[in-house]
Structures are given as structure tokens and as C-alpha cells.
Chains A and B, each alone.
Chain A
Amino acid sequence: MLKSREDLQKIREFYKERLDRQKVKILICAGTACVANGSLALYDTFMKLIREKGIDCAVDLEHEPEGNPVGVKKSGCHGFCEMGPLVRVEPKGYLYVKVKPEDCEEILEASVVNDTCVERLTYHKGDESHKHQESIPFYKLQKRVVLEHCGHIDATSIGEYIANGGYAALEKALFELTPEEVLHEVEISNLRGRGGGGFPTARKWSQVKRQKAKDKYIVCNGDEGDPGAFMDRSVMESDPHKMLEGMILAAYVCGAKQGYIYVRAEYPLAVKRLGIAIEQAKEFGILGDRILGTGLCFDIKISRGAGAFVCGEGSALTASIEGKRGMPRVKPPRTVEHGLYDSPTVLNNVETYANVPAIVINGGEWFRSIGPENSPGTKAFALTGNIMNTGLIEVAMGTTLREVIYDIGGGMRDGAEFKAVQIGGPSGGCLTKEHLDLPLDFDNLKKVGAMIGSGGLVVMDNHTCMVEVARFFMSFTQNESCGKCVPCREGTKRMLEILERIVAGNGEPGDVELLEELAETISATALCGLGKSAAQPVLSTIKYFRDEYEAHINDKVCPTKNCQKLRKIYIDPALCKGCSKCARNCPVGAITGQIKSPFVIDSAKCVKCGACVSACAFHAVKED
């Protein structure tokens, strides 16, 4: 239990010394994606080999042997999920990609026993190979503030966090700054909410601070429900203490005693790691009564979501923590006045809180020097879809889409052409080729009808049907509509019906206009953010890809051949050898014919599944 500033400084020195003593560190990525790819087996293999070879090894800082042991640890997400499982070896900074258990011995021999690099396991692009993580283009162009520790420290060790400068911001705040001074730094930094809205964080905090309520709450929104976004998951899994530190700083500023973290149930690993972090912080006296011996008392509880996207909305989220149905209410009053249990509540998302410690340590001016004036700082994005390097990245605000997609993301997969990127999930819009040089920040995106949202970037190539994408998002939102207000409950249903009709080839003239009219009505009248922005993906795809909608409606053609019901499959009699393989593969018996003479497809029976196309050895089954 740490009872003073000196205690914290002493323990930091203690852990630092232990960490510095480790001559080599092997960091095995234990993020969700790498675990799914088998990274835990790598950890076991390394441990087994180390024991067999009799190498001194330190698994955790608490039980470190004398001398210079090898540190073996499960780190948080490195971000380069495409290349997983990843193994990083420090201090050289070698990054090994797509590592298999049988590679472990070679890595151990080369990079631990000797001091060399296993070139064949490093990242290759074209003829170039990159030994060091920092020289890989995917990493080189990033600016990491929030994700600074991700992949570099053991996510389940408070000792490593402290040794790497963790809780130094809390120390500075508690012993050198007044709550007003901390708030002032956040204000100078112009940090804006990373959950999507971009509301100035300092303004939110000061609104809660100035109220004289008995109870105030600090709530963290970890209900990252946008499909295709996993920035917050990564922070919670990889560097949970950073987020806790941000929340404690918010409590210090606002005078709150209780905090809650609302996490999606779909993130079991994040729930587990946060739980460990909170327990450790309590043991250390960093959470609980009289934090570090000062007058600050603050505790944090985890509240698990139960699978409702709408709970990402402020008033629905607080209702859910209270044990109610997560349905939004009319605002105002806003959450800062009547939030959790009707008390003033600071509600920020994971990434926002994780930005605060660096601001307190380095000052607001430092933060503002990164990125554009009105949207300073960095932003984490989840890069997914038809892109080469999927994964988690963090760049300075104002970085262009081209840099993100081509320089960091490595361009499109399989030589396809870039078509669009969906930003901001089901509440955002799409950006196209014409926006490639648009700097990504809150205001620029708003101007073109998109939003930064929580930061999911789903990249789509020229084989993607934009009408189908719009239908997909509408079906998501419709499914997640809580049903409280009519415009959202009924409106999204009608929009979905129209979109389903269009992709099925039954679109009617005037459907696009009808969609636009419904969209406008829903946006103007829905109760909460979910409803208000529900039509965004439809509107933005109509804006940039109206010709695709028209092709579906007027010509009954899907230009990208995605929409199954619009496929036209036929057998070319000149190429057909009459082998009957297609007929045998057809699940509905739509293909008939005589052996050794051309077969035919009965289009009335055909379900357009394409089984015959892949079955034919002579490429005789064709698609228009």
C-alpha cells in the first residue's frame, strides 16, 4: 500500500531497476486477434524451451531472479493484426511476424542466446525486409500517444506500467497541481471527445465540477459497438492502467468518489484485464480511500453490457448501469447535470481518458502542437476491410486518408482498386476517391457529411456494392433500434424494406427520393443520436454512388455483381461438354440436360448461389 509520494517514487525505482536488469525481453502479443491466431501456444513454447535450456527467466517483476534474466511476457495488442501472431524482442526492437511454435527455438537461439535477428521471420514487403518494428512503414508513419505502451508492456502488470512512467501524471496532479490547474491544462490542450461527437472534454469536466451535488460520477464508455471498430478494446486490453489514471484525474478535477466502466460483453478479455488492473490499483493504494495518502477517495466498478448498441448513447448507458432497459431519454437535461443516478456525471470514452495522463505530464501546449488547431492530438483508427495491413493505428489528427490507406495500410488487397471507406460506422458516412487528400479531423469530416465516430475505417474495394453496404448498415441500426421513439422504430424499418427491395431487383422508380425523404424526417425527429444518424450511410452512398442505386432500380443490374438476386448465370453452349457436374452440384435442381450435350439453367428455379460457376471445369457457366 503506497501512502505517500515517496512511496510511489520508491516503488517506481524498484520496478525500473528490475526491468532494466532484464537483458532481453520477449513480448508475445496477447491481444484478441493474436490469441485467436495461436499466440498463447508461442508463450508456452518459449517457456518450455527456456526451462529446458536452463536460461534464467523473469515472468513477472514481483518474482524476478538475481542477475540478468530474460523477460518473457504477454503484451497487449501491437496493432499489426494482419501479421499476427507477433513477437517483439527488446532492446533491439526486432519484430517477428506470423510466428509459429516451431520458430520459437530459432528465435531463442538467435536473438536471446546470441544477438542476431532471424531474417526469415521479419516483415517483408517486396524485396525489402524490415528487422526493426520502427522501420516498418505500418509503424513508421504513426504517432503513438494513447497506444504508446500497447505491445510494449505486460498488460497485467501494474509494476511495468509504473516503471514506464505510469501514474506519474497522477503524482504530479495530486502533489503539485490544484484540480483547477489540472482542468486548465486539459482546457489548453483542447482535447475533444474521442467517442465521436468531439465535444471539448474540459467543458464537460468544468460543468460537472461547478455543481454542488453530494454525489458525482466519472463514467467511462467502453461500449464500443460500432462494427469494425476496436480501438477501445485494444486500450482496455493492452494498457488498462492508462485509462484508469485518466479517470482518477477526472475524479480529482470534478470531486467525484465513484467511477464506472461500462464494457461490452463481447470483449471478455478487456473485462478480465480491467478487473485485474482495478484490483492491483486498489492494492497499491492508487484507488480507494485516501489515494497515495492524500484526501482523494475514488473507486471504480466495472459494469458489463449485455449486447445493446444503443447503450453507447449517454442516457441509455447510465440507465443500463442502473439496471434498467438501456433506452435513451429526451435531453436536456444533459448527462453532466442529470446523469447516473440523477447526479452530475462525466461521461467520456476510453480513448479520451487515455489521452489525459500525457496532457498532465507534458502540458496542454504540447498536446495542442500535434495536429490541427481545432482538432489537436492524435486519433486511433481501426483499419479493416479490403486493405492490405489490417490493424490498429494511431496518427496525428489531420493526416490524410491517402497516407492512412496507402502509406500505412499498404493499399488494397489483391490488386483491387480503392472505392470507398466507411468512417464512423453505422452513424457515419463514406468517403471516396475525391476525399483521398482530405485531412482527417472532426471539422473536415463533418463538412463532407461523414464523422470521425469512434474511429473505425472500413476500406472497400471496387468489388463492393455500395447499395448492399447501405442495406447492411440499415439492417444493423434497425436491429439495434430500442423502439422507444416512432421515427427510429418505424422509419428505419421502412428504409430497410426499400433497400432490401432494391438489392433484390424489385426497386421502383422514386425509391431513392423516398429514401431521402425518410432520412430527412428521421434525422429531424428521432430522440437520440442513434436515430438521428441512422440514415447517414444511406444518404452518403446516395450522394456519391447514385448511379449504382439507379442501375439496381432501373436496369435491374448490380454493377459489382454482389447482389445475389440480380446475378444472371447461364451456360455457354459452345464451351459446355455436357459432363453434368453443374447439375449435380445445383442445390435446387435447376440445371438439366443430356450427357455430352450442352446443359441449361432454368432461371425460374435458380437461386443464383453460384455453386455451378465454381463447379465447372471448363468455365462454361458464366455470369453477365
Chain B
Amino acid sequence: METVCDAVQLDRILEKYQYDPGSIIAILQDTQEVYHYLPRCVFPYFSGKLGISEARIFSIATFYENFSLEPKGKYVIKVCDGTACHVRKSTAILDRLRSELGLSSSKKTTDDLLFTVETVSCLGACGLAPTLTVNDKVMGMMSPEKAAELLKELKEENADA
């Protein structure tokens, strides 16, 4: 299902940055905050409004790790794979999450769009290693068991909602 862009919303973002093509990164960041990813429709729209090519916008969206061209799940889980977490065995947590949800390094989002599992390089909360974030909320001192427990809780939370 392809998202249809809301021109009013996109214009509001463009106005905030005064239609400045130099602010394209910030514009894409704000757009992603609205849709949780960058839908196809934003490329021609911004290209027309900012007077820069679609290719240029696309090249930026694909260069920076934070931008996603695919829709993400309701719960985005990011497992920290910084050095400190790595030496405290974060890989086992990632493996467990992926196996529980049937995901892999290439398939990051579940088909029901409930979970996205990805890695992030260092959150700077190394004191709590190994860590992960759920929709940007940091959780520390994780273990594969706690991670499985977390999935269960999130599923229940979703069912209740």
C-alpha cells in the first residue's frame, strides 16, 4: 500500500525551512517523522517545490542511514551494536529478536507492520550495555530472554489498544 502525500503537511515542512534546498536533509528528517519513512511521492513533490532534481534528493535519502524508503513497523526496535554492547554480547539479543519474529538482516519489518528490528551504532548509553531502543525509548541491561519477554509485552499492548 503506497502512502499518498498530504500536500498541506509537506508544505508546512517546506515553509519551516523557507523552501531552502540547502535544508533538504532537515526537510527529509521532518517528513520521515510524519510518515516514519520516505514515501515515493515526496521525491517529485520536493523536487518541484525546491528546484532540485529528484535524483539529488534520492541520492541524499539513500546516503544517510537514518532515512528509510520502506514503511516501518509500529514498534521500531533498534539493537545497539556499539563496541561496548558488542563486547557484552548484543549479537545474541539481535539473533533472538530476529528468530522470534522471523526477520533477518535483509528483512527488517514483519509483514503485519508491527515490528521493525534493526541495529544502530552506539547510542552512547554504554553504561547500560547491552541496550536497545523501542521507538527511541532506551532500555538497558538487556538479555535475549528479556528481549523475548519485551516482544510479548509489546504484542499484548498492541492487542489491548
- Bound complex: CA of A422 vs CA of B84, how far in Å? 10
Q: How large is the interface on A (under 10, 10 to 19, 20 to 34, 35 or more residues)?
A: 35 or more
Interface string of A301-334 (1 = CB under 8 A from B): 0011111110000000000101111110000000
Decide: B29 and A384 in contact? CB cutoff 8 A.
no
Decide: A225 and B65 in contact? CB cutoff 8 A.
no
Contacts of B127 in A (CB 8 A): 33, 81-82, 84, 384, 390-391
- Bound complex: CA of A480 vs CA of B84, how far in Å? 18
A384-B127, A385-B83, A422-B83 are known; give 13 further A-B pairs, CB within 8 A: A32-B125, A36-B139, A37-B128, A82-B127, A226-B122, A227-B122, A266-B120, A303-B25, A307-B66, A308-B65, A325-B60, A458-B84, A472-B86
- Taking the nearest CB of chain B, how far is it from the CB of A40, in angstroms? 11
B63 interface neighbour in A267, A308, A469, Cβ under 8 Å: A308
- Bound complex: CA of A425 vs CA of B82, how far in Å? 10
- Taking the nearest CB of chain A, how far is it from the CB of B142, in angstroms? 11
Q: 6 A–B contact pairs at CB < 8 A?
A: A266-B121, A303-B26, A307-B64, A308-B64, A385-B126, A386-B88
A325 interface neighbour in B63, B99, B121, B138, Cβ under 8 Å: B63
Decide: B29 and A304 in contact? CB cutoff 8 A.
yes
* Given A33-B140, A266-B120, A306-B65: A230 in contact with B125 (beta carbons within 8 A): yes
Decide: B124 and A323 in contact? CB cutoff 8 A.
no
- Taking the nearest CB of chain B, how far is it from the CB of A581, in angstroms? 18
Decide: B140 and A36 in contact? CB cutoff 8 A.
yes
Interface string of B79-94 (1 = CB under 8 A from A): 0011110111000000
Decide: B29 and A325 in contact? CB cutoff 8 A.
no
- Bound complex: CA of A170 vs CA of B136, how far in Å? 36
Within 8 A of A (CB), among B82-129: 82-84, 86-88, 99, 120-129
Contacts of B29 in A (CB 8 A): 265, 304, 306
Within 8 A of B (CB), among A286-307: 303-307
Q: Is B37's CB within 8 Å of the partner chain A?
A: no
Contacts of A472 in B (CB 8 A): 83, 86
- Bound complex: CA of A275 vs CA of B81, how far in Å? 28
Decide: B87 and A229 in contact? CB cutoff 8 A.
no
Contacts of A326 in B (CB 8 A): 63-64
Q: Is A476's CB within 8 Å of the partner chain B?
A: yes
Which B-chain residue is minimally distant from A482 (CB atoms)?
Answer: B63
- Taking the nearest CB of chain A, how far is it from the CB of B107, in angstroms? 18
* Given A230-B124, A385-B88, A425-B83: A35 in contact with B138 (beta carbons within 8 A): yes
Interface string of A51-81 (1 = CB under 8 A from B): 0000000000000000000000000000001
Q: Is A356's CB within 8 Å of the partner chain B?
A: no
- Bound complex: CA of A267 vs CA of B139, how far in Å? 15
Decide: A458 and B83 in contact? CB cutoff 8 A.
yes
Interface string of A409-421 (1 = CB under 8 A from B): 0000000000000
Contacts of B121 in A (CB 8 A): 225, 227, 266, 309, 476, 480
Contacts of A308 in B (CB 8 A): 63-65
Q: Is B51's CB within 8 Å of the partner chain A?
A: no
Which A-chain residue is minimally distant from B20 (CB atoms)?
Answer: A323
Contacts of A304 in B (CB 8 A): 25-26, 29
- Bound complex: CA of A385 vs CA of B28, how far in Å? 35
Q: Is A382's CB within 8 Å of the partner chain B?
A: yes
Contacts of A82 in B (CB 8 A): 127
Q: Is B21's CB within 8 Å of the partner chain A?
A: yes
Decide: B66 and A385 in contact? CB cutoff 8 A.
no
Decide: B126 and A37 in contact? CB cutoff 8 A.
no
Closest 6 CB pairs of A and B: A81-B127, A307-B65, A227-B82, A230-B124, A306-B64, A384-B84
Decide: A228 and B64 in contact? CB cutoff 8 A.
no
B84 interface neighbour in A35, A324, A385, A482, Cβ under 8 Å: A385
Which A-chain residue is minimally distant from B57 (CB atoms)?
Answer: A323
How many A-B pairs have beta carbons closer than 8 Å: the answer is 129
Contacts of A391 in B (CB 8 A): 127
Query: Which of B65, B127, B129: most chain A Cβ within 10 A?
Result: B127
Contacts of A500 in B (CB 8 A): none
Within 8 A of A (CB), among B12-50: 21-26, 28-29
Residues of A that sit less than 8 Å from B by CB = 32-33, 35-37, 81-82, 84, 224-230, 233, 265-268, 303-309, 320, 322-327, 382, 384-386, 390-391, 422, 425, 456, 458, 460, 464, 469, 472-473, 476, 480, 482, 587
- Taking the nearest CB of chain A, how far is it from the CB of B124, in angstroms? 3
Decide: A32 and B122 in contact? CB cutoff 8 A.
no
Decide: A32 and B66 in contact? CB cutoff 8 A.
no
Contacts of B131 in A (CB 8 A): 36
Q: Is B59's CB within 8 Å of the partner chain A?
A: yes
Which A-chain residue is minimally distant from B32 (CB atoms)?
Answer: A306
- Bound complex: CA of A356 vs CA of B129, how far in Å? 32
* Given A230-B126, A265-B29: A324 in contact with B64 (beta carbons within 8 A): no
Contacts of B122 in A (CB 8 A): 225-230, 266
Contacts of A225 in B (CB 8 A): 121-122
B25 interface neighbour in A226, A229, A320, A469, Cβ under 8 Å: A320
Which B-chain residue is minimally distant from A389 (CB atoms)?
Answer: B127
- Bound complex: CA of A306 vs CA of B65, how far in Å? 6
- Bound complex: CA of A304 vs CA of B83, how far in Å? 23
B124 interface neighbour in A84, A229, A303, A305, Cβ under 8 Å: A229
Decide: B82 and A323 in contact? CB cutoff 8 A.
no
Decide: A458 and B87 in contact? CB cutoff 8 A.
yes
Decide: B88 and A32 in contact? CB cutoff 8 A.
no
- Taking the nearest CB of chain B, how far is it from the CB of A609, in angstroms? 9
- Bound complex: CA of A82 vs CA of B29, how far in Å? 33
Decide: A265 and B66 in contact? CB cutoff 8 A.
yes
Contacts of A305 in B (CB 8 A): 64
Decide: A324 and B88 in contact? CB cutoff 8 A.
no
* Given A36-B131, A324-B60: A306 in contact with B67 (beta carbons within 8 A): yes
- Bound complex: CA of A587 vs CA of B21, how far in Å? 52
- Bound complex: CA of A227 vs CA of B59, how far in Å? 26
B22 interface neighbour in A306, A323, A390, A473, Cβ under 8 Å: A323
Contacts of A324 in B (CB 8 A): 60
